[in-house]
Each structure stands twice: as structure tokens, then as C-alpha cells.
């Protein structure tokens, strides 16, 4: 074959191109890559090798040797020691000193069995010392855990005692200085308990005319106590009025918010402010309010401020406008008659208060429309207004305490409270706390539980008093402040037929249980199920609960079928 050949290559449908190909001659013998022999003809065929030169391996900088050069060549060669005298012995004609020689005597010979026996005894000794060290460490760890456990229990006990003392102290302070409805509720409840104890003592110890006289004296003392509670209620009303004034001042802060310009942060971090038409209107009203609230100013300036206020309120005609205009004319007339400043303070406070009410109107101050909680359209409130047949007032739906089994709108909260103070004198604070804790715990589950928010305070009171007898199902603790309601089966949402009344510590332990059947005994589970059946019988009469009850029954049948 020549060194250069020409090959014709087709580049198109009808076009060809000649390509010159150079043949490279190998400078080495190609390796045998295998092959086969034809049995009929005896011709041998070898597998062809490519013409590509083999790739050279990169030089690693390390000299490599083949297998033959790495093989160790062994040989035997005698060698003479350097000091030949050490092998010399004393003999005739030769004396070798033995002053530096050492006498080596053989020890006691022991067999392999004795050797392994000694090793076993040594291992046993080591194990004894290790077991002793391990036992000491284990006991010390147990003692430390016991000490920490006892310290934790003592701390928890001390914390519980402190919380109980704080709770009793707060209750005592509430009864000593009542301010809220719950405080007066506790006072009337304690008064009722005291009356029952005194009446029982009089009926047990006295008879005849002495009994009647003691009951009359007790009634007189009860009347005095009720009058004393009434005086405290009047004082609390005065304080609540002061709080209402402070609430009005909180609205002044809202007013300041209306006058602020709109702000936003740019891409470079700078704050940009823009005054809109509504914010400018808010600033204008704010300046007027600050002017009329300023004290100790000359009469001319005060008159100018009142005229500015008069022109401003005339822009929107309403009943409030007429009242403000009448008060402005009255103050101007009194100032013209040289009335003292101290006698005008009440009038000026009325003007400030009415002007605050005036700027709540969205038509006057559009910026306040998005900050008020009350809807702008009063027609939206008419849908949720009901009539109380006791006090004969039209009130919002939130003012009515409607139990879950109620079919009509009854009395409002104020009438319920007045009836309770006059007759039953029950304290609902403990039940209210249990209901609040229950709703908070159900919200934490985040499984869209609904039944707990349908249950009202009277329903929960019936459930605790009549079904669970105001005591824990495990320890029979009767302190309602320490009791909580939790789910009986935490896999399903809370309901009156899936609940249990326990103390806080018992509830924490109960919620960690995975299998109720293995944890609790059969009689205890049967007793809980009987209480659930009683709750079902009571709440099945409530229309809002019937759908949830049927759904839970279907689920229970499905589980039993599985």
C-alpha cells in the first residue's frame, strides 16, 4: 500500500470530492487481540487493531518497576561477629576473665494449661475491678438523677404553692377592692355561702322565737353587706368612667395617626412621605383640636380659635354640629361677660369631647374610615340587634348569653347578672377559665375543631357539675382552679362525648398516651364511656350538636367494623 491514497467522498446528491488520506505506518508490532480459525479451510483470522497510536500514560514523577524487579532475592551467608573473644571459653593455655559474666538460672517451668489458667484468673480480676468501677459510676449517676428529680419536684411543689398563694392573694384583693363584674360576682357568691352557713347554724342550734330573731338579725346583716357591696360598685363605676375617658384619649392617638402622611421605603432604603388630601384634612382637624385644647391663652386668641372651629363644623350639618355651635356661642357669650377661666373648664371639656366625636364621622375625616371598628353603614348593625324582654332594650347579639340548647333569644347579659346577684349568686369565673383554656388548647391542634366554640358557659357548667361531679376522673380533686378539660381520644376533635376532666399534671400525662386500652383498666374506661353517654343524651337535644353527634356515631361504627 502506498503512503498516500486518494478517496472520493460524496458530498451531495450528484457531487463528489476527492480527499487525500495519509497512511501512518506503525513503528511497533501490533498486539494479538484474539481471533478464530476456520475449521473447513484451516485459515486463521485475527482481530484487527486500530491504527491509532496508544495514549501515553502521564508521568507521575515516581519510578515504577515491573514485577520481576520487585522480587526479593533471598540468600544465606554466614557472618562472623566482630568480637571473637565473647565466644571464647577458658581452656588449657587460655584464661578468660568471668568478672563481667552474669549467672542466669532458669525459672519454674509451667505448662500451656497453667499459662492459660493464669491468664483467665488475671482477666477475672480485671473484670472484678471494672465491674466495681462501673457499679460505682452507675450508683453515682442514679443518685445524681434522684437528687435532680427531688430538687425538680420540690421546685415544682414550691411553684405550685406559690401560685396557689398568689391566686388566693389576688382573690382576696379582688374581694377587698372589687372593680370588675367578675369581682362582684365572687363577692355575691361568698355572701351566699356565708348566708347558707349561718342559716344552717341557726336552724341547727336555735328554735322558736330565738330562731326567728336570729334570722331577722341575719337578714339585717345581709342587707347591710349588700349595701356595702353597692357602695363599692358605685366607686368602681367612677373608676370605669375614668377608664372610658382614657379610652377616649386612645382615640386621640388614632386621630394623630389619621394626620400622618403616607410612608413607604424605596429600593435604596430611604423613606418617602406623601401628603394626600385625606392626610391634609386630618392635619387640619388635628391643629384645630390642639388649639381648642390649649389652656391659658388670651381671650382674643380663644375667640379666634372658636370662630375657626365654628366655620369648620358648619361644613357638615348634623345634630352634633348644632350642639357644638350652641356650646361655642355660649362660651363666647360667657367670655364677653368676664366669667372666670375656672368656671369655663367644664364647658371647654364638653366642646373638646364633642369635637372628638365629630371627627369620627367618615364624611368629615375620610382617613378615619379604615381605622374605626364600627361599620360605616349603620344598616349593617340592624341585622344583629335583638330585643331583651327583661330590660326592654334593643341590644347587639354579643350582649346576649345564649346557651347551646336555647331555641329563643332570652335575657341579655346584664339581666342575667342582675338575676344572679339577686337569687342564685353563683360564681362563673372558674368555669370561664376552664372554657378559655379548653378553646386555647383546641386552637393549638389546628384541626379545624368547631364543637368547642358552640359550647357556651351554661353548657360547660352543666357538663362539669352534672356529668363529672366537679372533680377529676383520676384523683377526685375538686379544686376547679386546678382542673382542665382535654380530649379523651386526642386523635378526634373535642366534644362533650370525647372529653375528660383532669388536673393539669394528669392532663399532660394523659395527652402523651398513645393507646388508651393498654394504659387504663377496663372498669375505668367503662366509667368514662358512661359519662360520655350521659353527655350525648343531654347535647343530642341541641340542634346545632345533632350533626356532629351523627358524624361521631358513624365514625364509631366504622371503627368497630374495622
Residue-wise pLDDT tens for the chain (562 aa)?
788 888 888 888 788 888 888 887 767 666 667 788 888 888 888 777 655 566 777 787 777 765 555 556 778 887 776 655 556 778 888 887 888 888 888 888 889 999 999 999 999 999 999 999 999 999 999 999 999 999 999 998 899 889 888 888 888 888 888 888 888 888 888 888 888 888 889 988 888 888 889 889 988 988 888 888 888 888 888 777 766 655 544 555 555 555 566 676 766 667 777 766 666 776 777 778 778 888 888 888 888 888 888 888 888 788 888 888 888 888 888 888 888 888 888 888 888 888 877 877 777 766 666 555 555 555 555 667 778 888 888 887 777 776 655 667 778 888 888 888 888 888 778 888 889 889 888 888 888 788 888 888 888 888 898 899 888 988 888 888 888 899 998 888 888 888 999 988 888 889 888 888 888 998 899 999 999 988 888 887 776 676 677 666 655 555 554 4
Q: What are phi and psi of 206, to 5 degrees?
A: -120, 155
CA distance 421 to 426: 8
E-strand stretches of 341-420: 385-388, 393-396
Cβ-in-10-Å burial (0-12, 13-18, 19+) of 179 comes to middle
Q: Do 260 and 296 meet the contact criterion of CB atoms below 8 Å apart?
A: no
From CA 355, how far away is CA 344, in angstroms rounded?
Answer: 17
Q: 374 to each of 87, 363, 370, 383, how far by Cα in Å?
A: 121, 14, 10, 14
CB 400 within 8 A of CB 458: no
C-alpha–C-alpha distance, residues 497 and 537, integer Å:
10
Determine the Cα–Cα distance for residues 100 and 86; give it in Å rounded to an integer.
11
Q: What's the N-to-C CA distance of the chain in angstroms?
A: 88
Dihedral in degrees, nearest 10, Cα atoms 294, 298, 299, 304: -60
- In the three-class reduction of DSSP (H, G, I as helix; E, B as strand; rest coil), residue 37 is classed as strand
Report the C-alpha gap between 174 and 187 in whole angstroms: 9
Q: Quick: pLDDT tens for 164-182.
A: 888 888 888 888 888 888 8
- Closest by CA to 414, choosing from 426, 396, 435, 400, is 400
Q: How far is CA 81 from CA 87, 88, 98, in A?
A: 9, 12, 20
Over the stretch 425-483, which tens digit does the pLDDT of each residue have?
887 788 888 898 898 888 888 887 888 888 888 888 888 988 998 889 888 888 888 88
Contact 216, 198 (CB under 8 A): no
- The Cα–Cα gap between 165 and 112 comes to 78
C-alpha distances in Å from residue 21, one per residue of 2, 7, 11, 24: 10, 7, 17, 10
CA triple 382-383-384, angle to 5 deg: 95
The DSSP secondary structure of 276-296, one letter per residue, reads -HHHHHHHHHHHHHHHHH--S
Maximum Cα–Cα distance across the chain: 161
What's the whole-model pTM score?
A: 0.52
Close Cβ partners of 322 (under 8 Å, ≥ 6 residues apart):
none
Sequence-ordered list of residues with C-beta below 8 angstroms from that of 477, at least 6 positions apart, any chain: 471, 483, 503
- 44: which strand partners? 37
Amino acid at each position: 500500500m502506498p503512503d498516500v491514497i486518494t478517496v472520493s467522498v460524496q458530498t451531495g446528491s450528484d457531487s463528489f470530492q476527492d480527499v487525500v488520506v495519509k497512511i501512518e505506518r506503525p513503528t511497533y508490532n501490533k498486539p494479538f487481540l484474539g481471533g478464530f480459525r476456520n475449521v473447513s479451510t484451516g485459515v486463521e483470522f485475527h482481530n484487527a487493531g486500530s491504527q491509532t497510536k496508544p495514549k501515553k500514560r502521564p508521568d507521575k514523577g515516581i519510578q515504577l518497576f515491573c514485577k520481576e524487579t520487585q522480587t526479593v532475592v533471598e540468600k544465606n551467608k554466614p557472618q562472623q561477629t566482630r568480637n571473637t573473644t565473647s565466644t571464647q571459653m577458658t581452656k588449657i593455655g587460655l584464661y578468660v576473665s568471668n568478672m563481667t559474666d552474669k549467672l542466669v538460672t532458669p525459672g519454674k517451668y509451667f505448662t500451656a494449661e497453667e499459662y492459660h489458667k493464669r491468664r483467665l484468673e488475671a482477666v477475672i480480676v480485671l473484670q472484678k475491678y471494672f465491674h466495681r468501677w462501673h457499679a460505682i459510676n452507675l450508683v453515682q449517676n442514679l443518685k445524681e438523677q434522684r437528687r435532680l428529680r427531688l430538687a425538680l419536684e420540690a421546685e415544682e411543689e414550691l411553684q405550685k404553692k406559690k401560685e396557689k398563694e398568689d391566686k388566693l392573694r389576688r382573690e382576696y384583693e379582688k374581694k377587698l377592692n372589687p372593680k370588675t363584674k367578675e369581682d362582684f360576682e365572687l363577692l355575691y357568691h361568698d355572701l351566699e355561702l356565708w348566708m347558707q352557713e349561718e342559716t344552717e347554724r341557726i336552724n341547727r342550734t336555735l328554735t322558736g322565737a330565738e330562731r326567728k330573731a336570729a334570722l331577722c338579725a341575719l337578714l339585717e346583716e345581709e342587707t347591710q353587706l349588700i349595701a356595702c357591696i353597692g357602695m363599692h360598685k358605685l366607686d368602681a363605676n367612677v373608676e370605669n368612667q375614668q377608664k372610658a375617658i382614657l379610652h377616649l384619649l386612645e382615640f386621640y392617638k388614632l386621630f394623630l395617626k389619621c394626620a400622618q402622611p403616607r410612608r413607604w421605603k424605596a429600593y435604596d432604603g430611604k423613606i418617602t412621605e406623601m401628603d394626600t388630601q385625606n392626610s391634609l384634612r386630618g392635619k387640619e382637624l388635628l391643629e384645630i383640636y390642639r388649639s381648642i385644647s390649649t389652656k391659658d391663652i388670651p381671650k382674643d386668641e380663644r375667640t379666634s380659635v372658636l370662630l375657626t372651629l365654628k366655620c369648620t363644623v358648619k361644613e357638615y350639618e348634623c345634630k352634633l354640629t348644632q350642639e357644638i355651635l350652641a356650646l361655642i356661642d355660649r362660651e363666647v357669650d360667657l367670655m364677653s361677660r368676664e366669667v372666670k377661666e375656672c368656671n369655663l373648664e367644664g364647658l371647654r371639656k364638653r366642646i373638646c369631647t364633642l369635637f372628638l366625636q365629630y371627627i369620627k364621622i367618615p364624611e368629615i375625616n375620610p382617613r378615619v374610615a379604615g381605622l374605626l371598628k364600627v361599620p360605616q353603614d349603620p344598616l349593617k348593625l340592624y341585622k344583629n340587634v335583638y330585643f331583651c324582654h327583661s330590660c326592654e332594650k334593643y341590644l347587639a347579639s354579643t350582649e346576649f348569653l345564649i346557651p347551646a340548647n336555647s331555641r329563643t333569644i332570652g335575657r341579655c347579659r346584664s339581666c342575667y347578672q342582675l338575676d344572679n346577684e339577686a337569687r342564685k349568686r353563683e360564681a362563673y369565673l372558674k368555669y370561664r377559665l376552664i372554657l378559655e383554656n379548653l378553646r386555647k388548647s383546641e386552637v393549638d391542634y389546628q384541626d379545624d375543631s368547631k364543637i368547642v366554640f358552640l359550647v357556651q358557659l351554661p353548657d360547660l357548667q352543666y357538663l362539669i357539675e352534672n356529668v363529672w361531679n366537679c372533680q377529676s376522673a383520676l384523683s377526685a380533686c375538686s379544686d376547679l382552679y386546678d382542673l382542665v378539660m382535654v380530649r379523651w381520644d386526642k386523635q378526634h376533635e373535642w366534644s362533650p362525648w370525647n372529653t375528660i376532666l383532669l388536673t393539669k399534671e394528669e392532663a399532660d400525662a394523659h395527652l402523651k398516651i398513645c393507646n388508651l386500652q393498654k394504659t387504663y383498666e377496663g372498669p375505668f374506661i367503662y366509667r368514662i364511656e358512661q359519662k360520655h353517654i350521659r353527655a350525648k343524651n343531654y347535647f343530642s337535644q341541641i340542634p346545632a350538636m345533632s350533626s356532629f353527634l351523627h358524624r361521631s356515631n358513624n365514625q364509631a361504627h366504622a371503627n368497630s367494623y374495622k
